[in-house]
Amino acid sequence: MTSQLFQPFQLDDLTLHNRIVIAPMCQYSADNGSATDWHVMHLGQLALSGAALLILEATAVEPEGRISADDLGLWNDENEQALARVLAAVRKYSDMPIGMQLGHAGRKASSDAPWRGGKQLALDNRGWQTVAPSDIPFTNDQRKPTALDKAGLDRVRKAFADAAVRAARLGIDVIELHGAHGYLLHQFLSPLSNQRTDEYGGSLENRMRFPLEVFDAVRAVTPAGRPVGIRVSATDWAEGGWDLEGTVAFSQALKARGVSFIHVSTGGLASNQSIPVGPNYQVPFARAVKEATGVPTIAVGLITEAEQAEAIVATGDADMIGLARGILYDPRWPWHAAAQLGATVKAPPQYLRSQPSRYRNLFG
C-alpha cells in the first residue's frame, strides 16, 4: 500500500511534498531578538531532513513578548536583517518551505532559559514587566502582569501585523500564530487567565475577540495564497479552563476568516494542569477539530514511530503530523520513516551515497 504520510498536501497555494511538519522549538539562542550562527546550524540540518515544512521557533512580535531574553524576535530592522542572513544560508542548499510562528508570551514572558531553571527573571536581572489580559500571574510566586488597556491591545495587535509584513519581505512561506501553551492569545481565550469585564472578557465570544482581531490583522497583510494558520491548546487540562468545546467554536470562527490550518496541541496555561501523557494523547483533539470544521489540522504530541504517524494520517485523525523533540533527537526521522514505509524522500546530492543498499529507492 502507498504510504499516506508521504503523499503531497495542499495548503492554499503551497504544495507540501509529504505530511511531516517540523514544529516550532524554542532555542533560547538569539541576541536581542536577532538570529545567530546557532540558527544557521540548527535550521540547516532540519532543512535537509526530508520533512515537508520547517516552522521557525516562537518569534516575538515585541521585546516584551519574548519568553526569555534570548528568544528570537522580529520587531526591528536588525532582527529582520539577521534572520535574512540565516535564511539565505539555509535556502542556498534546501528548497524546503519555511514557516514562522509569531507569538507573544504575555504573563509567561521574562523567564530564564529551561537549562537555567526557567524561573521568572527579576526586573534587575534581565527581566521586564509582563502584560496579560488580566493582572493574574502564572504562578503565585511571580509578580503580577499589567492588564492590557486599549492602547496596549492596539500596540500588540499592530506588532503582530508589522512582524507579518517583515515575514513576507523575508519570503516566509507560512505564518503560524501562537495561540497555545499559555501564551498571550491563549491567555485571552481561557477564563482562568482572562477575567476582564470589558468587550474582551467574560463570554466566549468576548474572550475570542482579541485573538480573532490579531488573526484578521495578520491575514490582511500576508500575501494572498500564502497560508496563515494558528497553533491552539485544545484544553487547559484544568477545571474551569479552556476546553475542546471552546476550541471548536474558535476554530469555526477562524474558518470563517480564512484560516489555512490549525495546529492542535494542549496545555500550558494552568500551573495545576493534570495531563495524561502518552503516545497520541493529543491526537483526538486534532480529529475533533478537523471533523467539526473541515480545516486542515496538524497533530502533535509523543508521535515517535513511523507506523504511528502513518496511522494518524491514514485514518483521518489529522492531515499532517508535527515533530519537535523527536526530530531534535533524530534529525533524519523522515528518511527513516520513508525507508520503513516503502516511500521516497528528498535528500541533498552530497548525501546520496549514504542510501543503504536495502533501501535502493529511498531517495526519490
User: In order along the chain (364 residues), what is the average pLDDT of each group of 10 residues?
Assistant: 96 98 98 98 98 98 98 98 98 98 98 95 95 97 97 98 98 98 98 98 98 98 98 98 98 98 98 94 98 98 97 98 97 98 96 94 92
Q: Model pTM greater than 0.85?
A: yes
The answer to whether 173 touches 99, Cβ cutoff 8 Å, is: yes
Q: Is-contact 244 234, C-beta < 8 A?
A: yes
Query: Among the options 28, 93, 183, 351, which is catalytic?
Result: 183
User: Bridge partners of 228?
Assistant: 175
Please tell me the predicted confidence (pLDDT) of residue 44: 98
Predicted confidence at residue 136, as pLDDT, reads 98
Query: What's the rounded Cα separation, in Å, for the pair 228 and 225?
Result: 9
Give the whole-angstrom CA distance, residue 53 versus residue 214: 23
Which of 341, 100, 355 minimizes the C-alpha distance to 230?
Answer: 100
User: Would you list the domain boundaries of the chain?
Assistant: 9-359
pLDDT score recorded for residue 364: 85
Secondary structure of residue 232 in the 3-state scheme: strand
Half-sphere exposure of 211 (CA within 13 A, CB side): 35
What is the amino acid identity at position 169? Answer: R
**CA-based end-to-end distance of the chain:** 17
CATH C-level class of 9-359: alpha beta
Q: Angle between the 150-169 and 77-91 helix axes, to the nearest 10 degrees?
A: 30
Positive or negative, the CA dihedral 257, 262, 268, 273 is positive
Cell of 320: 499532517
Contact criterion met (CB below 8 Å) for 300 and 324 = yes
Task: For 148-158, give one letter per residue: b (16+ CB within 10 A) or e.
Answer: beeeebeebbe
Return the closest-CA partner of residue 88 out of 43, 23, 26.
43
- Name residues whose C-beta falls within 8 Å of residue 228's C-beta, 6 or more positions apart in sequence: 174, 175, 176, 177, 215, 218, 219, 222, 258, 259, 260
Which residue, among 347, 358, 364, has the nearest Cα to 51 in the 3D structure? 347
pLDDT at 332: 97
Q: Which long-range contacts (CB under 8 A, 24 or more apart) does 212-216 make?
A: 212/250, 212/253, 212/254, 212/257, 213/157, 214/156, 214/157, 214/160, 214/177, 214/185, 215/177, 215/254, 215/257, 215/259, 216/257
Is 183 an annotated catalytic residue?
yes
Task: Name the burial class of residue 203, with classes exposed (0-12), middle (13-18) and buried (19+) by CB atoms within 10 angstroms of its CB.
Answer: exposed
Q: Residue 59's pLDDT is what?
A: 98
Q: Who contacts 65 (Cβ-Cβ below 8 Å, separation ≥6)? A: 73, 103, 104, 105, 106, 109, 156, 159, 184
